[in-house]
Structures are given as C-alpha cells and as structure tokens.
Amino acid sequence: MKDTKARIAAGLERAFAENGFSEPNIDSLREAAGVSLRTLYKYMPSREEMVLSALEHRHRRYMQLVFDDLPSDGTPVLHAVLDCVAHWMSKEASHGCLFHAAVASAPRDERLRALLAKHKSEVAEKASEISGLQNRQGEIALIVEGLMQAWPLYGEAATRSAKKLCDTLVNDAPA
Amino acid sequence: MKDTKARIAAGLERAFAENGFSEPNIDSLREAAGVSLRTLYKYMPSREEMVLSALEHRHRRYMQLVFDDLPSDGTPVLHAVLDCVAHWMSKEASHGCLFHAAVASAPRDERLRALLAKHKSEVAEKASEISGLQNRQGEIALIVEGLMQAWPLYGEAATRSAKKLCDTLVNDAPA
DNA sequence: GAGCAAGTAGAACAATCATTCTACCGGAGA
DNA sequence: TCTCCGGTAGAATGATTGTTCTACTTGCTC
C-alpha cells in the first residue's frame, strides 16, 4: 500500500529530525516508523533508502508549509515567507536544515547531494518568483539559507535580521 | 609533547573535513593523524574527544585565516572578510561549515552545541567589530552564515550575492 | 473454507566498531 | 650501561551494526 510507505517515511523523517542521521540504528528507526522490521525493509530495502525516502517526504511537506496558503493580507510576501520558514524551524527543524544535515553526515553520497541541490533550487526559485524579485534570486536564497542556519543559534532574533535584510533589498534599486 | 597533540588534531581536522563525522572509523582517523593507535588514545581518550579537539584546532585556524592580515588597501573591510570566508570555503570546507556538520551528526551532544555557539558568536562579534557596524551584528552574522551554507551550492555566485547584501546594508540608514 | 496478500515478532548472521592490551623499539639523561 | 619515556605495530575483545530469515497472525476474496 502506498499509505504504508508514506506512514513509514513520516516516522523516519521525524526520527532523523530529532536524532540526526548517525545516531539512530535500524531498530529505533523501525520503532519510529511504527512497523515491523520485515515491512520496513520491504518498502525501504536499505538504510540509505530510508534516508532518501525521509528527505523526499520532508521536501513535499516543507514546500507545502512554507509556500502554500501564504496570507494575502497586506504583509509583504517575503516577510510572510520568512515567518513560515521561522515557524518551520521552531516546529520541525530546531536542529537546523535536515537536508544539510544529511549531506554533512555523508558528504560523499552523490544522491544526497543531488537531493539537497534540487530541494534548495526549488525553494529559491519559488521564493524569488512569488516575491516578484526574480533578478534577486541569489540574495534571497542566501537570506533564507542564513535564516535557517542562524535560527538554531539566535532564535527569533534571526528572523528579525532576515526581515531587515529583505527590506534593504527591496528598498535598494534593482541591480 | 604538545606539538604531538597539535599534529594529531590537525590530521583529525582534515579527516573530518573530507569525510564527515560519521564515516571515518578509528583506524582511518589514526592513519590521518599519522600516529599509532596507542598514541592517538593517549592524547584523545575517546572518539568524542577526537571530534572536540579537531574542532578546537579548526576554530583557531579559521579565526586566523579569516581575520588576521586583512588587506589594508581601499577595499571595504566586509568585502575582504567575505572574500576570506569564500577562500576558506574553497580551500578547506567545500562540504560546508564543519561545526554545523558536527552538531548535525550528533544533535544531542551539548558539548558540541556549546562549541558551535562559541565559535559562531566569536565570528559574528569580530566581523561586526572590525566593520564598525556593531549595531548590525545580527544581519552580518546572517550574511556570513548564508554565504557559508550557500557556497557549496552556488560557488562564487554566493560570494557575489553576499557582497551585494553587505552593500545594501551599508548604504541603508542605521536602524 | 481455502488461499493469498500484508502484516508482526524476533532470532540469526557476518561484519564492523571503539577500545584495551601485550610486546617491542630508539634515544636521552643519570 | 642502565633505564625510563614516548613512541610503533597490531592482536584481542566485546558490543553493536545492518541485513536476512523463519515462524506465526490477520483480514480479504474467490
């Protein structure tokens, strides 16, 4: 069943987000997935596969939570995006970006690096597109990256800094 | 001898930077340190200690390469710092910030988190101090974090984006 | 009711891991 | 010359790892 695999992926995502990619062994992953060892291996035939599935699941969830139903009141759209990112950090990623963490734990793994690149490029493209600042995609990506990395260190202060940077960017004459 | 320990730490730092914190086993760390197993354990009685020593060694080296002998010609000091950071990334940290990688591989380890916080706060303080923008320390920290995280993805384009953000920050009226 | 698909529970396996231990070596100081 | 000191080389150990396998249980469909 597809929803079995999705349920497993959701549990794995949570386990990796809480404990990183090195610590949890197969048995704790199995427990987090809420499934037997045999079923776990049926859908994800190796630990590597478990990591990839968890990240794919997370990507879908991230795009949804950060970019779907942004408030359509007066607030600048980039501020709303940054608020969603900060909310995501506080609720789901208090240790930092899970994609970077995955690559950091296995820097040689090409499939992981490809997944990271795909995730980040989709985020950057969407953020610059909905803000109407396509010609500033690099700077926007850098602010989002900075926020996600700085949030575990500085909390809401990082959000305020990110918003200030966005403001100076918007006020600035287009390059 | 002290230089034995420093030599070991240097080798370990290189091994962790190249292969992450999960992959290398004790024997490959021993080889990278260029020392016997017994000596390795004499100076660093556990793997955890090896990680900590490698990071402390790296902190010293980072501060030196990024903040010592900045060029005193006309270039804006923040640009020079960002160039040094970019140079550091290309030469030493092509997989990303080693401190974040260490915490990502063991997000529960309090000693690692403390070391990360100390490292980042010293960097942010120094960068804002030498640029004379102490009241913008949060934004500067975020730009540096963004650059270090974005560099492995976008290379020199990330450096250009970071510099642009710095320019808008400097041109902006102080908050 | 037989048979099948999809699941649980957990033992067994070989490999690898971090750590400890024994045995040996070269040089410097008394 | 003797004797530590600081080092090398590598075997031994016990725990843990990812993965596979066997045996059993449900629920659904002909």
pLDDT tens for residues A13-63?
Answer: 999 999 999 999 999 999 999 999 999 999 999 999 999 999 999 999 999
**Partner-chain residue, chosen from B19, B100, B117, that has the shortest CB–CB distance to A149:** B100
Q: How far apart are CA B91 and CA B117, in angstroms?
A: 23
- Whether B125 shows a pLDDT value over 60: the answer reads yes
Q: How far apart are CA B34 and CA B5, in angstroms?
A: 11
Distance A164 CA to D17 C1' (A): 48
B64-108, pLDDT tens digit by residue?
999 997 877 667 899 999 999 999 999 999 899 999 999 999 999
pLDDT score of A169: 87
Distance B109 CA to D22 C1' (A): 39
DSSP string of A109-175, one letter each residue? -HHHHHHHHHHHHHHHHHHHHHTT-GGGHHHHHHHHHHHHHHHHHHTHHHHHHHHHHHHHHHHSPP-
For strand D, which nucleotides have at least one atom less than 7 Å from a protein CB?
6-11, 16-23
Q: Kindly identify which residue of chain B lies nearest to residue A94, measuring between CA atoms.
A: B107
Q: How far apart are CA B83 and CA B76, in angstroms?
A: 11
> The CATH number of the domain where A73 resides is what?
1.10.357.10
How many residues are there in chain A? 175
pLDDT band for A118, please (50, 70, 90 cuts): very high
Alpha carbon distances (Å) from B105 to A22, A84, B18, B94, B99: 6, 26, 14, 17, 10
pLDDT score of A74: 67
Q: Kindly identify which residue of chain B lies nearest to residue A99, measuring between CA atoms.
A: B104
Q: Using a cut of 0.85, tell me whether the model's pTM lies above it.
A: yes
Kindly state whether A47 is in contact with chain B, defined as any CB-CB distance less than 8 angstroms: no
- Whether B175 shows a pLDDT value over 60: the answer reads no
- Whether B2 shows a pLDDT value over 80: the answer reads no
Residue range of the domain that includes A67: 2-172
Proportion of chain B above pLDDT 70, given as a percent:
96
Name which of A132-136, B40-44, B85-89 the model is least confident about: A132-136
A35 beta carbon to strand C: under 7 Å: yes
B25 beta carbon to strand C: under 7 Å: yes
Kindly state whether A118 is in contact with chain B, defined as any CB-CB distance less than 8 angstroms: no
pLDDT band for A12, please (50, 70, 90 cuts): very high
pLDDT score of B31: 97
* Residue labelled with tokens 């556990």: B46
Which residues of chain A does B168 touch, with a Cβ-Cβ cutoff of 8 Å? 165, 168-169, 171-172
Mean pLDDT of B143-167: 97
Nearest-nucleotide field for B7 (CA, C1'): D7
Q: Kindly identify which residue of chain A lies nearest to residue B137, measuring between CA atoms.
A: A161
Contact B161/A139, CB-based, under 8 Å?
yes
Alpha carbon distances (Å) from B63 to A67, B41, B81: 38, 28, 11
**C-alpha torsion A145→A14→A105→B49, nearest 10:** 110
Domain count within chain B: 1
Proportion of chain A above pLDDT 90, given as a percent:
87
- Whether A175 shows a pLDDT value over 80: the answer reads no
Contact A105/B103, CB-based, under 8 Å?
no
* Residue labelled with tokens 């100390």: B118
- Residue with CA nearest to C8's C1' atom: A36
pLDDT score of B75: 77
Mean pLDDT of A110-127: 97
- Residue with CA nearest to D10's C1' atom: B37
